[in-house]
Amino acid sequence: MKYLLYVSALLLFISCNNKDKEKPLTYEDYQLHAANMIAQPTTSGGSTLYTMTDADAGLERFYVDTKQIVFSCLYTKLNDALNKLAINKDSVNIQLPNEEKLEPNAKVSFEMSARNLKIDTSKIIETKYNNVTYHITIPQMVGFVTMKSNLRGGAFAVTPSGQTMISHGVAVAIKGEPSLADLVNQLTDKTKSSEVNAQKLLDFVTNEIEYSDAEATSGGETIKRPDEVLFTRNSDCSGKTILYASLLQQINCKWCILYYDKHVCIGVAGNYKPKNVAKILLDSTTYYVAEITAPNALIGENYWQEKRKAEDVEFYHIPENGTAIIDYKTKKPLEFLKKTVSE
């Protein structure tokens, strides 16, 4: 795990304060957040605009300060796009090319306020995997963005060496988050033990979510929400850790986040019998290392060989004990910065 800060649109959700989390969301909130997500297709799995609206159009610009959106489409599909994107078509500024006769494949652009963006809050957005499908609605997506569906706590902690590290725990979903609870129901068997189901969830994360070298070598820390990891189908150890922890939240399983030098993963409590064991004792509980980057990884199996040992952990976070990130050597909690990402 890298301790450099990579402040991007992926991290804007961390700047929400507790008052924002308690504030009821309005249709206008859904419109603005939907516009933001449409403007970031790399974190929403590609053609977010079509997925949300069924409109055969493209986003050209989203002006965050004025909340104005510019779309484009083929001239022959303009009327259909306006019907699907605009609440009030009369308030849309259509910019036609300076030609007397438009060709069928001519491209036109149109601008409107984000408050005129038509959003179907009941629409279910699907991401299909081999044997399961992730279902989520726009309000549920906004729940992640506004931190209403995430664990709470400080976003940035200061290490004993004075470096700033990002708490992965604040991006982990709460128990009962609807979209993830549904996914976990598809992946697990309620008649089986928590150990069996925890392994099924790890199988999904290690085999269905591709490891992203681009994120790992970006030069900073990229934090994705669990829904973003599922949309894009890839992430580095940070995103995979956040997704796996979010899935474990939906079953009866005790877990923790383990922070190593340039790596982060999950520890799972339970009755596991790996051949080459990787485990660590934290606060009187034994946690077996779940290496989220190794395909077909088994909980508690050591895939690091000589690279690192389980006891090389630098910091850990046990969510059921609160929001504190604990220094493994001193057993003292790290201090959190009282600042937002923008600051």
Task: Express each pLDDT in 237-256 by its tens digit.
Answer: 999 999 999 999 999 899 99
Please say if the pLDDT value at position 1 is more than 70: no
The answer to whether residue 33 is domain-embedded is yes
The bridge status of strand 279-282 relative to strand 315-317 is: unpaired
Are residues 154 and 205 part of one domain? yes
Cα torsion at 327, 221, 36, 20 (round to 10°)?
10
Are residues 291 and 240 part of one domain? yes
User: What is the domain extent for residue 200?
Assistant: 146-336
Q: Which of 13 and 257 is assigned the larger pLDDT? A: 257
Task: Give the number of domains in the chain.
Answer: 2
The answer to whether residue 11 is domain-embedded is no
Are residues 110 and 186 part of one domain? no
Mean pLDDT, residues 76-86: 95
Ramachandran quadrant class, 2 (left: phi over 0; alpha: psi -120 to 50; beta: rest):
beta
Looking at 78, 101, 116, which one is the last position of a domain?
Answer: 116
The answer to whether residue 159 is domain-embedded is yes
Q: Whole-structure pTM over 0.85, yes or no?
A: yes
Are residues 150 and 284 part of one domain? yes
Q: What percent of the chain has pLDDT over 70?
A: 89
What's the CATH code of the domain at 250? 3.10.620
The phi, psi pair for 287, rounded to 5°, reads -115, 130
Looking at 69, 96, 116, which one is the last position of a domain?
Answer: 116
**Residues in the chain, overall count:** 343
Are residues 179 and 63 part of one domain? no
First to last CA, the chain: 23
Amino acid (one-letter) located at 233: R
Quick one: tokens of 305? 């060989």
The answer to whether residue 15 is domain-embedded is no
Are the C-beta atoms of residues 83 and 56 closer than 8 Å to each other?
no
In this structure, how many other beta carbons lie within 10 angstroms of the beta carbon of residue 11?
A: 22
pLDDT band at residue 343, thresholds of 50, 70 and 90?
Answer: very low
Are residues 215 and 291 part of one domain? yes
The phi, psi pair for 299, rounded to 5°, reads -60, 125
Looking at 69, 100, 116, which one is the last position of a domain?
Answer: 116
